[in-house]
Chains A and B, each alone.
Chain A
Amino acid sequence: MNWSQLTTFTLEFGKEEGELVFIVGPNGAGKTTFINLLTGFLSPDEGSIVLDGDDITGMSANGRVDAGIARSFQVVKVFEEMTVRENLRTVVLTEQGKTWSLFSMADGHEEVEAQVNELLEKFRLGDAADTVAEELPHGDRKLLDVAMSFGLDPDYLLLDEPTSGVSTREKEYVIETIVEVGRAEGVTTVTIEHDMDIVTEYADRVVALHQGAVHGVGPPTMLETDDELRRLLLGVGEDE
């Protein structure tokens, strides 16, 4: 998709409510581009991105993380040669601003270790804690990816298809975990999801994108009632 065509639009997300927003839309609708723009992976040609009243359009990707926006990637991006624990430790050390310490022990910060253990428990990765990331089963890799984003203690968490490539059996497990932790921590999650059953079951609000513009925003029942949207998403009625 040519992302320069993405039309400017206004979307507001609630903060500290643990709201679960799902983004749906056909291929090429601009879902990933939307996340890329918000997180600073891409910069917009025009328009602005405003976070809690502050213009962050020109802010670097790492600056936005500090400002409270975290993301995960559609294709898992974790530190492959580190164990699960080390991955999370690296994230928490970064979040707490300890990575400039050259002479303390990486595993010697008690408050960091406590938070790492908490993350391991919440995301049920305790058994895999000492497994090297590249040797993890796919579902656990997805969870690790999300756990790392949560470890950044964000206000907003943008998840790009956290269940893609995950088996049907594991899918529920992954999304349940995200929902559970998101609600408990009061993190607003914005999730791109193709599985409409999942969207219908968990979404507080649905944002439908089409051809780089917002097609509609509403409750998950919108998926049932909006015929145009159904046609776009499922190809229903296209042949008529």
Chain B
Amino acid sequence: MPERVDRDGTPAYRVLGVEVTRREAAFLVLGVVFLFVIPDIASLSDSLQLSVIHQGLLFGFAAVGLNLLLRHTKLTSFGHAAFFGTGAYATAVLARYAGVQSVGLLLLGAIAAATVMAAIIGVLSLRHTGLYFALLTLAFGQLLYAIALGQSALGGSDGLPVRPGPANQPLLFGTAFSPDVYQILTYYLTVVVILIGLFVMYRITQSPFRNALDAIGQERTRARFIGLPVRRYVWAAFVISGIYGGVAGGLYAVVRQYVRPEGTLFFLRSGDILFMAILGGFRTLVGPLIGGVVLVFLQDVGQDVTQYYEFLTGVVLLILVYGFPRGIVGSLRSGGIVNARLSELRREPSVLSAWGRSAAQSIERKVTEALTSLRIILFGVD
């Protein structure tokens, strides 16, 4: 096996089955430290709100789960909000009707509900692949949305509060903290859950199970003919990815202390989760998480700047698809486009003008093409 090495040849470290080069380890430590100091940074700055980043991390975590399907089995689910929403609503229902106060128990309930939901939706939608699979997941997601909207027990469009017990608040370590402290503590809980979730996902993506999923994604027929019961494997992956969504949704409910159908189950949330994975880089482990933070942040900032903030999302998507198809993390990685360009620039700064020229040329070319197309559409071919 070719050993993975750093640029200067230092061999990779291996801890708990996680193999990292020194460079990657540095980024990892930096990332973890950054996650832990975000509440301090956020308290210093007005534009950076802890709640926004927190929400970004939670949706991003659901995207990490979705990515197991997207990256390995090459199945595009348009209904992942179903599991996020199931987790969130399970938490709310337990808090309201069963009087469950402990955050830990609420989260376990979210996980159980999301697992069952993913198991059922998985069986029903994985009979198909490609477009039909995507449509089925979308349909099941909207079905749950309609149920949440229509059931008065689930609060209808008003949703449900998550404020159980005499303290009107879920209990962490059996204690009701003041709202500010509660927000920060739940944030740290999220960070810990995310770190564990990423570790588990990393191990899964190094395991023989991943080989089976990759095989299915790359050549489904052959996968069958090497003896893999394809549907069972895809189903297992679907359930695992659903559990990630459920955990994220449960945490969301605990943090927000309120769940609404629009914020959790609506199909646009499914779209967001899918977008996050692609934005961050679906060929990477942490990409979807970063995509989550970036997208939610952009939407939040966009809402302050313009009422057409969805327009902003569209522009980001276009830039992404045309310029950085590997996503944020994929492009920043060694060998990615950003690194390649930077090292070129360092070697020979004059390439900048060449890039400018080629960019100008390609824009000119595209504009000419567009004008030609427009002329043909309007006046026909002469």
Listed in ascending order, the chain A residues whose CB lies under 8 Å from chain B are 39, 41, 60-62, 65-66, 70-71, 73, 77-82, 86, 89-91, 93-95, 98-107, 109, 130, 148, 152
Contacts and interface: CB of A to CB of B under 8 A. Distances in A.
17 contacts: A62-B228, A73-B222, A77-B219, A79-B218, A81-B218, A82-B214, A90-B212, A91-B226, A93-B212, A94-B215, A94-B227, A95-B226, A99-B228, A102-B204, A106-B211, A109-B208, A130-B2
Given A78-B222, A82-B214, A101 B207 contact: yes
A82 B219 CA distance: 11
Contact of A94 (B2, B17, B212): B212
Interface in B13-50: 17
Contacts of B210: 106
B366 interface: no
Given A79-B219, A99-B233, A152 B214 contact: no
B238 to A, nearest CB: 14
A103 B207 contact: yes
A81 B227 contact: no
A105 to B, nearest CB: 5
Chain B binding surface SS class: helix
B99 to A, nearest CB: 35
Interface in B193-241: 203-204, 206-212, 214-215, 218-219, 221-222, 224-230, 233
Nearest to A96: B208
Given A82-B218, A99-B211, 5 more contacts: A62-B229, A94-B212, A100-B208, A104-B207, A106-B206
Chain B interface bracket (under 10, 10 to 19, 20 to 34, 35 or more)? 20 to 34
B377 interface: no
Interface string B225-263: 111111001000000000000000000000000000000
B181 interface: no
Contacts of B233: 99
Contacts of B211: 86, 89-90, 93-94, 99, 106
B222 A98 contact: no
3 closest A-B pairs (Cβ-Cβ)?
A: A65-B227, A99-B212, A77-B222
B1 interface: yes
Contact of A65 (B208, B221, B226): B226
Interface of B: 1-2, 17, 203-204, 206-212, 214-215, 218-219, 221-222, 224-230, 233
Contact of B230 (A41, A62, A81, A104): A62
A102 B228 contact: no
B226 to A, nearest CB: 5
A104 B227 contact: no
Contacts of B226: 65, 70, 90-91, 94-95, 148, 152
A105 B219 CA distance: 22
Contacts of A65: 225-227
A36 to B, nearest CB: 11
B38 to A, nearest CB: 30
Contacts, number: 95
Contacts of B206: 105-106
Contacts of B221: 73, 77
Contacts of B227: 62, 65-66, 94-95, 152
Given A70-B225, A79-B219, A94-B228, A103 B214 contact: no
A70 B225 CA distance: 7
A130 B226 CA distance: 21
A201 to B, nearest CB: 28
Among B208, B210, B218: residue with most chain A CB under 10 A: B208
Contact of B208 (A62, A106, A130, A152): A106
A103 B18 CA distance: 11
A81 B209 CA distance: 16
A14 to B, nearest CB: 23
A93 B208 contact: yes
B219 A107 contact: no
A70 B228 CA distance: 12
A37 B228 CA distance: 18
Contacts of A152: 226-227
A80 B218 contact: yes
A61 B231 CA distance: 12
Contacts of B230: 62
Contacts of B228: 62, 94, 99
Nearest to A151: B226
A101 B205 CA distance: 11
B219 A78 contact: yes
Given A90-B215, A130-B2, A152-B227, A102 B222 contact: no
A109 B229 CA distance: 22
A56 to B, nearest CB: 14
A154 to B, nearest CB: 10
Contacts of A148: 222, 226
A101 B222 contact: no
Contacts of A79: 214-215, 218-219, 222
A157 B2 CA distance: 32
Nearest to B1: A107
A39 B225 contact: yes
A99 B228 CA distance: 9
B209 A100 contact: yes
A101 B224 contact: no
A125 B112 CA distance: 47
B225 A61 contact: yes
Contacts of B214: 79, 81-82, 90
Given A99-B209, A101-B208, A62 B222 contact: no
B161 to A, nearest CB: 37
